[in-house]
Amino acid sequence: MNPPGAIRDGQILRGRAFNEPMRVVTVRAGSDGDMEAGLVGQRTQQFRQVTLSAADIEALEIIDPTPTFDGDGRHLRLARVWRVDGVLVMGDGR
């Protein structure tokens, strides 16, 4: 369940209301707790202006594409740098 104010610019929305994943471009509070959102299709790049009620927002899957680095070491790659014959060499330890 998503709170009504959960939609932000840059997020991806999936749900029965859309035939493709939609990227949020603009968000504005509407009347009676509704949200007006400008969305762009991920595949078609078609722009849509929609009004979403609190019930509509709860039914959506909201994906935040911003990496969180929340403890998963696969998101972090450490690099080592050393000098060989006057040239800097970088490796990621693999």
Would you say the pTM of this structure is higher than 0.85? no
Residue type present at position 27: V
Q: State how far the Cα of 81 lies from the Cα of 57, in Å rounded to an integer.
A: 48
* Average pLDDT of the segment spanning 22-36: 90
- pLDDT level of residue 3 (50, 70, 90 thresholds): low
Q: State how far the Cα of 15 lies from the Cα of 61, in Å rounded to an integer.
A: 6
Q: Where are the domains of the chain?
A: 4-68
The domain at 4-68 falls in which architecture? Roll (2.30)
Transcribe 39-66 into DSSP letters: EEETTT--EEEEEE-HHHHHHSEEE--S
